[in-house]
A and B are shown apart, each in its own frame.
Chain A
Amino acid sequence: MSERTFGDTILAVKNISLSFGVMKVLDNISFDIKQGEIRSIIGPNGAGKSSMLNVINGFYHPQEGSITFKGETRKRMAPHAAASHGIARTFQNIALFKGMSTLDNIMTGRNLKMKTNIFWQALHIGPARREELENREAAERIIDFLDIQAIRKKPVGKLPYGLQKRVELGRALAAEPELLLLDEPMAGMNSEEKEDMSRFIIDVNDEFGTTIALIEHDMGVVMDLSDRVVVLDYGKQLADGLPDEVRSNQAVIDAYLGVPHE
């Protein structure tokens, strides 16, 4: 494989602090993500990783700091703005539309790509129908990409866990995001499923040039996949750098191997 090169900074968070009441969840966090890279956020349980993703996609509103996405700086993100500017995500505890089919879930991911108004939609004719077909094809490409043709029409609530994770990735991809946030995409998977998921993440990055921010517990996976890693512990930023640098960082080793936090 050729040397990996990255573009400009697509997202930068600066001095982010977030607290719920007296609990400080994130404390002065700053890092950036470059176009086309796979960036991991790691840390022990309760380090504030998911909160960080929630800040980026606008679910949580930090008290301090700023978020710069594609050159636009704001105090806080709103979920709708994040989605419409090209941030898609998956969730740690799978948040699929359980009663809907795989295809419908992925089509929902195309929500922002579809523009026809409610009038045409209600009549289900003309532009709305054409748009529906075009987007169906895009959804089918994702189904093909993720190799989930066999479950196209199945309600996702009845699928095994590993496949649900894959469908959720599919829904996020359907939005053709520029930045993809993955919250523990491999949690609860066996080694084979993990390998498949890693492959998909690399392929997404490779094939579509999607920038990926990843939270993951499995150190082996993180070190293999990531271009750069930022380490959080108890809401504080411990380290930021290449996987090898992070691996040999004493503070990181202490956080992982030192006194258990629980």
Chain B
Amino acid sequence: MTNLLNDNTLDTFPKLLLKHASQRSNHDAIREKDLGIWQSWSWAEAAAEVRALACGLASLGLKRGDKLAIVGDNRPRLYWGMTAAQSLGAIPVPLYQDSVADEMAYVLDNADVKIALGEDQEQVDKVLEIKQRCPQIEHIIFDDIRGLRDYDQAFLHNYETLQQTGRDFDQQHPDFYQQEVDAGSGEDIAIMLYTSGTTGKPKGVVLTNDNCVITARNGIIREGLTADEEVLAYLPMAWVGDNLFSYAQSYVAGFCVSCPENGATVANDLREIGPSYYFAPPRIYENMLTQVMIRMEDAAAIKRRVFRFFMDHAAKVGVKILNGESVSLKDSLLYKLGNILVYGPLKDVLGLRRTKLAYTAGEAIGPEIFDFYRSLGINIKQLYGQTECMVFICVQPDGEVFADTVGTPAIDVEIDIDDNGEILYRSPGVFHSYYKNPESTASTKNEDGWVLTGDAGYFDEKNGHLKIIDRAKDVGKLNDGTMFAPKYIENKLKFFSFVKEAVLFGNERDYSTAFINIDLDAVGNWAERNNLAYSGYIDLAAQPEIYQLVKDCVDKVNADLAKDSRLGKSQIHRFLILHKELDADDGELTRTRKVRRKFVAERYETLVDALYSGIDECHVKTEVTFEDGRTGMLEADVKISNAECYPLESSTQEAAA
């Protein structure tokens, strides 16, 4: 293994693939659950698949520098599509599979995509619709023929047929493939990933092979990952994290990646695979915890009591044990017993029994959620990263894991903080450019290779870890001049299981206010247990009992803020529970489920105005998009509630100035 990690000639993914295929030909490279059974392909088989597809793509005219769009769920064939394109020096552009045609059209057009590889009819239909507007799309390839039998366009190709064409091509030009792979180098462009961007149009982040391979390798070295890891590829292929964890690191370290059966089976597939290396954004950890808690509420009294007892014990000593600190013999034995009775089975249910390393990133994670998993003995750590550097900026070192920091710089990463408090970094992973967007490239990356993250933060003096407060541009000021960091407070709200999403207002206002989205699972369950009848989200969100429930959460956050000398003035004076769930289909969230703050503020202007006027109810009309693309109108009377504000505990006001 080490020889692979040190071999600098293996500077592209096709070269890495060929190396594994020759050295470790029989080891599993990738798996997919199909017809209820896990099918696997060895490195040698995967290499043969890639070779056939690459030759097929070449026969369609895909050349060095051309773009191949890839859209669909995590499938071996789509991952092979990436390597096949890279073999030819062409550039794969993975797209979010749930994006609607309009969003997809922008990327396909902007990226100058020549060939599109779609998973199934749903994706092909979207590309076909777009093709009218984007004539540069020459061919469309599909994996699953279902529903496509009657499509007779000459530019539509079946994946399998194309591979056959490729094999014929390969026979006629036996040296072609190897020559193409050899022609590739580390400086070549490996992939383009479009950032969803909380504002404006998505930007194509151009990453070179060196960016990807070196960063992947550094991550492997830092965490001591091996070729024996098990990974489940379940996050969108268009997202940089999936590209790192399920593709780049798999090719560098040589571990096997498993693709779930479909989106709905992930929890089950997770249990069957039992990944040793796992990534999930905080909301997934949150959901898992919520599910566990709901199930425990319904369990028999005795089971519940045993669960509580051992969870309390884990909360007391679990994190210490994980960090390698010493605990008393009695505590240690009790923890072992708990492992047999509760923690082990629980980790099995979650699919995390074998997890050696679990990452989370993207959003702040609630301290109690974080501690819950760590107390079970799951080594979950936070990292801080961006698409612009192939993920890694900071990672928490083992044994130094805190809920409110993102750790120390990753290998080969330099970090600086500018006068405005914005974080800058420089690393081998720093991106080549934004595609066809030199202005953005120049405003993000300076000539010395330093990249502005757009995040505000500082190094914690106690432990030297980086701490992120908010997006630099989102940090504003209240009218009295004190700092207003909306995301920091929103995160505090979201740590309550009843609150799914929160949007704070306050910049250039006298006080701060909030929109709240309740969590339908958690609040619905609470309502059932308290015999509260409701007919759906809108109805539930308007109930006075639920307002009281949310008010308690807001009050607690305010009490907490009152202790903070910098943010004490940002206590939430008034809030409302939004009549609909914020939805990516309506443009309110990004595809990675981040709130588009400005968009939301404009869309619900009347509600924001109402928060800053004295009224306690407001009528709104909102256009909504259903999953099938149709639109409709939603009307509701939204109540506005006041929250409890607390006097500031510390009188060191000057600290805030």
Chain A residues engaging chain B, CB cutoff 8 angstroms: 1-2, 136-137, 140-141, 143-145, 147, 149-150, 152, 191-192, 195, 203, 206-207
CB within 8 Å of A: which of B260-289? Answer: 261-262, 264-265, 268
5 contacts between A and B (CB under 8 A): A137-B35, A150-B261, A150-B264, A206-B147, A206-B149
A206–B262 contact, CB under 8 A?
Answer: no
Is A150 touching B35 in the complex (CB atoms < 8 A)? no
Q: A136 contacts which chain B residues (CB < 8 A)? A: 36
What is the minimal beta-carbon distance from B153 to any residue of chain A, in angstroms? 12
Q: Provide the bound-state CA to CA distance between A84 and B513, in Å.
A: 68
A144–B147 alpha-carbon span in the complex (Å): 14
Contact (Cβ within 8 A) B627 A203: no
**Is the pair A192, B36 in contact by a Cβ cutoff of 8 Å?**
no
Given contacts A143-B36, A203-B146, A206-B149, list 20 more A-B pairs with CB under 8 A: A136-B36, A137-B35, A140-B35, A140-B37, A144-B35, A149-B36, A149-B261, A149-B264, A150-B261, A150-B265, A150-B268, A152-B36, A191-B628, A192-B626, A192-B627, A192-B628, A203-B147, A206-B147, A206-B150, A207-B146
Please provide the 6 A-B residue pairs with the shortest distance between their CB atoms, ordered closest to farther. A150-B264, A140-B35, A149-B261, A150-B265, A140-B36, A149-B265
Give the chain A neighbours of B37 by CB distance below 8 A: 140
- Candidates B35, B150, B268; contact of A141 at CB < 8 Å: B35
A140 to B34, CA, bound (A): 9
User: Chain B: interface residue count, which band?
Assistant: 10 to 19
- The residue that B262 contacts in the complex, of A1, A140, A150, with Cβ under 8 A, is A150
Contacts of A147 in B (CB 8 A): 262
Q: With A and B bound together, what is the CA distance between A144 and B120 in angstroms?
A: 13
Q: Tell me the bound Cα distance from A143 to B264 in angstroms.
A: 13
Residues of B within 8 A of A (CB): 33-37, 146-147, 149-150, 152, 261-262, 264-265, 268, 626-628
Cα–Cα, bound, A152→B261 (Å): 12
- Give the shortest distance, in Å, between A154 (CB) and chain B (any CB): 10
Judge whether B150 and A2 touch: CB under 8 Å: yes
Give Cα distance in the complex from A144 to B146, angstroms: 11
Bound CA–CA A152/B34 (angstroms) = 13
Inter-subunit contact B262/A145 (CB<8 Å): no
Q: Which residue of B lies closest to A147 (CB)?
A: B262
**A203 and B265 alpha carbons, distance in the complex (Å):** 23
Instruction: Using CB atoms, name the residue of chain B closest to A145.
Output: B146
Known: A141-B35, A192-B626. A207 touches B149 (CB 8 A): yes
State the CA gap A152–B33 with chains docked (Å): 13
Q: How far is the CB of B241 from chain A (nearest CB, A)?
A: 24
Query: Which residue of chain B is the closest to A148 with respect to CB atoms?
Result: B264
Residues of A within 8 A of B35 (CB): 137, 140-141, 143-144
Bound Cα distance A2, B268 (Å): 41
Residues of A within 8 A of B265 (CB): 149-150
How many whole Å from A201's CB to the nearest CB in chain B?
Answer: 12
CA gap between A137 and B147 in the complex, in Å: 21
B150 (CB) vs chain A CBs: closest residue: A1
Closest to A137 in B: B35
Bound state CA distance, A214 and B37, in angstroms?
34
State the Cβ distance, B338 to closest chain A Cβ, in Å.
Answer: 29
Docked CA distance A217–B33 (Å): 38
User: How far, in whole Å, are A136 and B34 apart by their CA atoms in the complex?
Assistant: 13
Residues in B whose Cβ lies below 8 Å from that of A207: 146-147, 149
Q: Name the B residues within 8 Å of A192 (CB-CB).
A: 626-628
Give Cα A242–Cα B625 distance, bound, in whole angstroms.
34
Residue of chain B at shortest CB distance from A1: B150
Q: Which residue of B lies closest to A150 (CB)?
A: B264
List the A side residues contacting B626 at CB < 8 Å. Answer: 191-192
List residues of chain B with CB within 8 A of the CB of A191: 626, 628
Kindly list chain B residues whose C-beta atoms are within 8 Å of the C-beta of A2. 150, 152
Whole-angstrom distance between the alpha carbons of A149 and B33 in the complex?
10
Name B149's closest neighbour in chain A (CB-CB): A206
- Which residues of chain A are within 8 angstroms of B33 by Cβ–Cβ distance? 149
**Shortest distance between the CB of A107 and any CB in chain B (Å):** 12
- Given A1-B150, A206-B150; A195-B628 close (CB under 8 Å): yes
Minimum distance in angstroms from B33 CB to a CB of chain A = 8
Q: Which residue of B lies closest to A136 (CB)?
A: B36
CB neighbours (8 Å) of B147 from chain A are 203, 206-207
Cα distance A2–B151 in the bound complex, in angstroms: 9
Whole-angstrom CA separation of A150 from B36 in the bound complex: 10
Smallest CB gap from B36: residue in A: A140
Residues of B within 8 A of A195 (CB): 628
| Docked pose: A141 CA to B35 CA in angstroms | 6
Q: Given the complex, which residues of A lie within 8 Å of B149, measured CB to CB?
A: 206-207
Q: In the complex, what residues of A have CB within 8 A of residue B150's CB?
A: 1-2, 206
CB of B520 to closest CB in A, whole Å: 15
**A143: B residues at CB distance < 8 A:** 35-36
Closest chain B CB from A140 CB (angstroms) = 4
> Complex Cα distance A261/B33, Å?
53
Q: Which residues of A contact B627 (CB under 8 A)?
A: 192
Complex alpha-carbon distance, A250 and B390, angstroms: 67
CB distance from B14 to the nearest CB of A (A): 31
* Cα A140 to Cα B385 with chains together (Å): 40
Max count, chain A CB within 10 A of own CB: residue among B36, B149, B150, B628: B36
A150: which B residues are within 8 A, CB to CB?
Answer: 261-262, 264-265, 268
Distance in angstroms between the alpha carbons of A203 and B122 in the assembled complex = 13
